[in-house]
Chains A and B, each alone.
Chain A
């Protein structure tokens, strides 16, 4: 294996229990895509209820909710939005970023033969898979899956909270397993980046993609165990009837504390946001450089800003809990720290604009998605300021404004960034190009509805709509929001339909797509120096790194506008 040559493998060791980081990455890709579609379908159902409250869901309604004649009942509604959030964050986006792209890209971009611990890597995927099976199984429980929201605050998420069934227990169990899988992956990524960089590749020669994924992995390794502890305690509540998180009249024994869970959840939960977005920042920084044919502006500053944000993200969790009656002094401290994050964020955001400034922009599919991240992340970031500020947050807390905001940062930015990455690395993963025309249709079909949907969600929230109301229109002051909500729903379904274009593109391109050249984007990073199919072991001859990751349009080079990281600047000129 370490000689770098291809060797014979059986079907099982090659495609199922593979230890090859590329195959594991592809496994994560299909796994995450499955859950993305599943969670997406649930979003469509949520929008049905908010537009046509109490009416049977057409076509699929009878199939999904036979017992209620296709109507989404309040219980089912709670289950759907709980599962939508849980799935999208932990089973769709996490496997795509910290699974698929992390696995596929890290060793290739740093010039390593594989991950530091290939067997651990395999276990990581299959533990993740098992957790997915458990979560999927919880959908078929007689009382349905968990229904206490993706945050699963006690007491709602405990037996004394009143939600019947074992869905919550399976939720906690599957999430714990998922956490273990993520930690295994993170240990691998962190170690690989520290120990296995090719000769000549210092930290400041690493592509920003690797920076982003690496920092996210560090956050994973440190903060996922915290939520794991919380989940284990929650599991004990559900299975053995302990009452760590129960207080007040519901408690049969004294001394529990529901706020304890909230703290534990958000000490992890805020870094989780950065776990999801850091890889995207890295990927976008690199792609903007490739498709502007310019070096990334302020490369070192961008990397440093990402490090600063990684550290700051650990001490701001209180901004999710302003309304829990925390002391004003503590509230101000969390507000100050949170607003502090906007400084490094603004700096690298300006660096993105600096990269684009006077570049020769190539609006190919990955670039369109990367550019859209700049736009939607800008909006997501700015609307975050309202929620970071105590005074405005107290009004906006738990409203649709929050939903719109975090969909801009997580759904919009992370999803568009993942698509950028998919269109960019698909040629290296499968040796075929994704169809560019379908790519552009998919882009506009996603970008336009997405903005209309999430922007107007913030509008409804500002108008007072609570985020988890089953039927908002029982309140008189929300009745005039019905036309707007119906419009949001139609745009949301259009957004969902646009994803069919992606699925068609994936299938069509895999079967009949144009064969990809070795370096279709003329990119400088190392993964583009090897031919598809990349053998187990990646490199016939181990690469040596001579230049930074963004050597584009260097005037010292004649005849082309890029050189690979493995080429000497003098030799190429």
Chain B
């Protein structure tokens, strides 16, 4: 899993590298003020994703604890956050499109959509994995020995949260 994460890091790092090169060269780039709707939506989304990671962490903590049935509950919590994130992301794209910022409008618009889209696709994949775990832990309680898949999917989930925080910073925060 470490190796897989290294691979994924290179994928996102390349996207980030491309973004940086394009942004540095561009004469005009979209940036968002604190009161702009896209900025507010993206900020809310960051908080939601952070919350999802907290839920996940608590799910892993609950394994082998006094209330093992909480594992399942927290996983559904993570999943709910993921779903809200996806919906919010879609809403964010709608907002941008409403302001005339579409995928092929300009380099800067293309970059925003490509980067957030690349991330969103991975979140969907991670949600499928968490969904599978949630189903598995629904009826039966997993022991500490069985928690490897839970831990590994967790790494991927937190990894995506971190990636989002980086993307959020470079796209929505930096002017």
Nearest CB of chain A from residue B38's CB, rounded to whole Å: 19
Q: How many A-B residue pairs have CB under 8 A?
A: 91
Say which residue of A221, A230, A242, A254 sits within 8 Å of B104 (CB atoms): A242
Say which residue of A224, A226, A240, A257 sits within 8 Å of B103 (CB atoms): A240
Check if A233 is an interface residue, CB within 8 A of chain B.
yes
B11–A221 CB distance below 8 A:
no
Complex alpha-carbon distance, A256 and B27, angstroms: 11
B14–A243 CB distance below 8 A:
no
Say which residue of A190, A223, A233, A243 sits within 8 Å of B18 (CB atoms): A233
Q: Which of A181-234 contact B (CB under 8 A)?
A: 183, 186-187, 190-191, 221-226, 228-230, 232-233
Known: A253-B107, A264-B18. A183 touches B28 (CB 8 A): no
Complex alpha-carbon distance, A128 and B35, angstroms: 47
Chain B 101-113 interface 0/1 with A at a Cβ cutoff of 8 Å (1 = within): 0011111101100
Say which residue of B3, B12, B22, B28 sits within 8 Å of A244 (CB atoms): B22
B107–A221 CB distance below 8 A:
no
Residue among A190, A223, A242, A243 having the largest count of chain B Cβ atoms under 10 Å: A242
Check if A260 is an interface residue, CB within 8 A of chain B.
yes
B4–A225 CB distance below 8 A:
no
Chain A residues with Cβ under 8 A from B114's Cβ? 232-233, 236, 242, 244
Known: A221-B6, A255-B25. A241 touches B104 (CB 8 A): yes
Complex alpha-carbon distance, A177 and B12, angstroms: 17
Complex alpha-carbon distance, A264 and B18, angstroms: 8
Chain A residues with Cβ under 8 A from B170's Cβ? none
Nearest CB of chain B from residue A102's CB, rounded to whole Å: 15
Nearest CB of chain B from residue A275's CB, rounded to whole Å: 14
Q: Output the nearest chain A residue to B9 by Cβ-Cβ distance.
A: A225
- Interface residues of B, CB < 8 Å — how many? 29
Check if B174 is an interface residue, CB within 8 A of chain A.
no
Q: Which of B101-140 contact A (CB under 8 A)?
A: 103-108, 110-111, 114, 118
B106–A224 CB distance below 8 A:
no
Check if B15 is an interface residue, CB within 8 A of chain A.
yes
Known: A242-B114, A254-B28, A260-B22. A225 touches B107 (CB 8 A): no
Known: A254-B107, A257-B21. A225 touches B7 (CB 8 A): yes
Known: A221-B3, A232-B118. A226 touches B106 (CB 8 A): no
Known: A253-B105, A254-B28. A236 touches B110 (CB 8 A): yes
Nearest CB of chain B from residue A225's CB, rounded to whole Å: 4
* Dominant SS among interface residues on chain A: helix
- Interface residues of A, CB < 8 Å — how many? 30
Known: A241-B104, A255-B27, A256-B107. A226 touches B21 (CB 8 A): no
Nearest CB of chain B from residue A116's CB, rounded to whole Å: 10
Check if B34 is an interface residue, CB within 8 A of chain A.
no
Chain B residues with Cβ under 8 A from A240's Cβ? 103-104
Q: Output the nearest chain A residue to B27 by Cβ-Cβ distance.
A: A254
Chain B residues with Cβ under 8 A from A253's Cβ? 105-107
Check if B32 is an interface residue, CB within 8 A of chain A.
no
Q: Which of B18-54 contact A (CB under 8 A)?
A: 18, 21-22, 25-28
Check if B10 is an interface residue, CB within 8 A of chain A.
yes
Complex alpha-carbon distance, A460 and B11, angstroms: 39
Chain A residues with Cβ under 8 A from B118's Cβ? 229, 232
Check if B8 is an interface residue, CB within 8 A of chain A.
yes
Q: Output the nearest chain A residue to B15 by Cβ-Cβ distance.
A: A229
B18–A242 CB distance below 8 A:
no
Say which residue of B3, B11, B22 sits within 8 Å of A255 (CB atoms): B22
Complex alpha-carbon distance, A267 and B15, angstroms: 13
Nearest CB of chain B from residue A447's CB, rounded to whole Å: 38
Chain A residues with Cβ under 8 A from B6's Cβ? 221-222
Complex alpha-carbon distance, A416 and B135, angstroms: 51
Complex alpha-carbon distance, A52 and B105, angstroms: 47
Chain A 245-262 interface 0/1 with B at a Cβ cutoff of 8 Å (1 = within): 000000001111100100
Q: Output the nearest chain B residue to A264 by Cβ-Cβ distance.
A: B14
Complex alpha-carbon distance, A240 and B105, angstroms: 10
Chain A residues with Cβ under 8 A from B108's Cβ? 255
Nearest CB of chain B from residue A189's CB, rounded to whole Å: 10
**A-B complex: 6 closest residue pairs judged by Cβ atoms:** A229-B14, A255-B107, A225-B11, A255-B26, A242-B110, A225-B10
Interface of B toward A, CB cutoff 8 Å:
3-4, 6-12, 14-15, 17-18, 21-22, 25-28, 103-108, 110-111, 114, 118
- What are 30 A-B residue pairs whose CB atoms fall within 8 Å in the complex? A183-B4, A186-B7, A187-B4, A221-B3, A222-B10, A225-B9, A225-B11, A226-B11, A229-B10, A229-B12, A229-B14, A230-B18, A232-B118, A240-B103, A240-B104, A241-B103, A242-B104, A242-B114, A244-B18, A244-B22, A244-B110, A253-B105, A253-B106, A254-B27, A255-B27, A255-B107, A256-B107, A257-B22, A257-B25, A260-B18
